[in-house]
Amino acid sequence: MASVAALEKSLSAAAPCPAPTDRDGFDDHGEQNPREECGVFGVWAPGEEVAKLTYYGLYALQHRGQEAAGIAVGDGDQILVFKDIGLVSQIFDEQTLDSLRGHIAIGHTRYSTAGGGCWENAQPMFRVTPDGTDVALGHNGNLVNYISLLEEAAARGLVDKSNSPSDSDVMCALLADGMKGGRSIVESAQELLPRIEGAFCLTFTDGTTLYAARDPYGVRPLSIGRLERGWVVASETAALDIVGASFVREVEPGELISISEAGVRSERFGVTQHKGCVFEYVYLARPDSVIRGRAVNATRVEIGRRLAQECPADGDLVIPVPDSGTPAAVGYAQGSGIPFGQGLVKNAYVGRTFIQPSQTIRQLGIRLKLNPLREVIAGKRLVVVDDSIVRGNTQRALIRMLREAGAAEVHVRIASPPVKWPCFYGIDFASPGELLANCVEGDDEEAMVRAVGTAIGSDSLGFVSVENMVEATRQDREQLCCACFDGVYPLGLPEGNHNADLVRTMQATI
């Protein structure tokens, strides 16, 4: 691949490889992790406290979005929506949840993609149909034909383009407007969903029935669970476990389900073409979730075993970067025979912060989140296992910290291939020119890996191959989206997007 930084600079005045930013967003020694954009939850359960069930479900999905959250509850007559900026625990209290009464609810946790991070773009979205019916919708994913749908909604007077509505708001507006003339919400959905291009998992309701839909490629996971007196849908099976629901099955790609007193009804709006996101297995999903019958934790452990065979290291101790690197580190220790140890302590209470750091605090860097156990690592040749390298700033600061704590050598092993391409299907990756694998000079893959290792300051560096990563999922390669690793975008590229234009230019140079 030609110099990506140079290509990006030619298309934009922005610097190709910006100064490091913190992994949690509050200093210049780390970086921000790849972020899943949203989590959705829905429950139909007459006689149950559906708002509280949804609250606990969102708690289990908090890792999928920490910017905003909301719950919409319907009682058959109206839908009440409560949403705000912040974490689930910060937004809802006992009094608020008690006021949200009904038999049906949908919930959402959010990071922003299309649309900004303002309150108006928090979900669930709410609209009133032309005949006065309330509609609420939650969305996980990202659309590639957002601009076309936005133009359509604006032409019909449903949204104001100048306010930068999110793709979720546009979908909700079109869904509600499609119910005019006495049409049902299912009729509207069957007309709208085949025209939506991109990755989407939806939960929506008219206050009477719970609906869920998944794009025909099944990029993001969505599962159905059974309660004693109702049904649940959730982005991950871990959320079903939290609320005491038994897993029934996944919502199939291209499927629209309706849940009411009549049970679960299934309809098709698209042909199933499995292209599940492989990064769900690598990093995004909770380790206690199951996707397409494969436990996420078991996948990560197996990736670690394969990584040990593919990229061996001479070391005294395998340590993870907690928590996301832990399963792969366990697997690496098993595959290599090198003892596993906890060499880093994580502060579980460091998350997103709204308090701007002073220069003194900024210089603390990654120490705000991780601290070395000196008595464990001093004098040791360490094999440090992490889930991915994006900009490399976290690894650079971490390696420096480990050396200061007395590590004799630091060998870094990564439980995913080099990230070279941005995601347009619901993960907040950096632009191509910010990805470290694109920012170093290297005539081939081996030279690139050596250059990345030099950039982060490790004694050696190794990545698992795409082939071994995919085999660990026990899914067929053709049924997975690996776009962030191989640049093949099965759902196409979005309209009017600078990074997508850059990707097209990059692809033309290969």
Number of other residues whose CB lies within 10 A of the CB of residue 447: 12
pLDDT bin (cut points 50, 70, 90) of residue 10 is: very low
Instruction: Please provide the average confidence, as pLDDT, over all residues in the chain.
Output: 89
Angle of helix 167-177 relative to helix 146-155, nearest 10 degrees, comes to 50
Average pLDDT over residues 287-299: 98
* pLDDT attached to residue 79: 98
Higher-confidence residue of 32 and 351: namely: 351
| pLDDT over 70, % of the chain | 88
Q: Bigger pLDDT: 96 or 497?
A: 96
Quick: pLDDT tens for 170-212. 999 999 999 999 999 999 999 999 999 999 999 999 999 999 9
Exposed e or buried b for every residue in 406-429, given b needs 16+ CB within 10 A?
A: ebebbbbbbbbbbbbbbbbbbbbb
For 235-255, how does the pLDDT look when each residue is reduced to its tens digit (9 = 90+)? 999 999 999 999 999 999 999
Judge whether residue 355 has pLDDT over 80: no
Residue 301 has pLDDT above 70, yes or no: yes
Residue 350 is predicted with a pLDDT of: 64
Read off the pLDDT of residues 56-78 as tens digits, 9 standing for 90 and up.
999 999 999 988 999 999 999 99
> Which H or E element spans position 82?
strand 79-85
Instruction: Assign domain 35-273 one CATH number from 3.40.50.300, 1.10.600.10, 3.30.360.10, 3.60.20.10.
Output: 3.60.20.10
User: Hey, what CATH class is 296-345+357-475+496-508 in?
Assistant: alpha beta
pLDDT at 317 over 70: yes
Cα distance between residue 45 and residue 42, in whole Å: 10
Going by pLDDT thresholds of 50, 70 and 90, the confidence category of residue 20 is very low
The predicted pLDDT at position 363 comes to 59
Residue of 38, 201, 311, 439 marked catalytic: 38
Bond into 323 cis (ω within 30): yes
| SS percent in the chain: helix, strand, coil, step 5 | 35, 25, 40
The answer on pLDDT for 277 being more than 90 is yes
Tell me the domain boundaries of the chain: 35-273, 296-345+357-475+496-508
Is 439 one of the annotated binding-site residues?
no
Supply the pLDDT for residue 22: 32
pLDDT at 358: 62
With a threshold of 0.85, does the pTM exceed it? yes
Sign of the four-CA dihedral 332, 334, 337, 342: positive
pLDDT at position 366: 75
Alpha-carbon distance of 429 to 355, in angstroms, equals 24
The average pLDDT across 38-45 equals 97
User: Lowest-confidence range among 119-123, 145-149, 303-307, 324-328?
Assistant: 119-123
pLDDT at residue number 111: 76
pLDDT at 211: 98
Here the tokens at position 358 are 């002073």
The pLDDT value recorded for residue 431 is 81
Task: Strand 125-128: give its sheet, edge to edge.
Answer: 125-128, 134-143, 198-205, 210-214, 255-260, 263-268
- 172 assigned binding-site residue: no
Q: Do 111 and 67 contact (CB within 8 A), yes or no?
A: yes
The confidence score (pLDDT) of residue 509 equals: 78
Contact by Cβ (8 Å): 118, 246: no
- CA dist 292 → 221, 249, 476 (Å): 8, 9, 11
pLDDT at 348: 75
423 assigned to a ligand binding site: yes
pLDDT for position 442: 73
Q: What six digits make up the tokens of 401? A: 């910290």
201 assigned ligand-binding residue = no
pLDDT recorded at residue 117: 57
Distance separating alpha carbons of residues 482 and 53, to the nearest angstrom: 34
35-273 and 296-345+357-475+496-508, same CATH topology: no
- Using the predicted structure, report yes or no on whether residue 506 has a pLDDT greater than 90: no
Cα–Cα separations (whole angstroms), residue 239 to 125, 236, 263: 21, 6, 21
- 482 marked as binding residue: no
443 assigned to a ligand binding site: no
Identify the pLDDT of residue 128: 97
Whether residue 324 is annotated as binding a ligand: the answer is yes
The answer to whether 500 and 491 are in contact (CB under 8 A) is: no
Q: Give the pLDDT of residue 347.
A: 84
Buried b (16+ CB within 10 A) or exposed e, 347-377: eeeeeeeeeebeeeeeeebbbbbbebeeebb
More confident residue, 482 or 501: 482
Total residue count of the chain as it appears in this document: 510
Residue 17 annotated as catalytic: no
Share of the chain above pLDDT 90, in %: 75
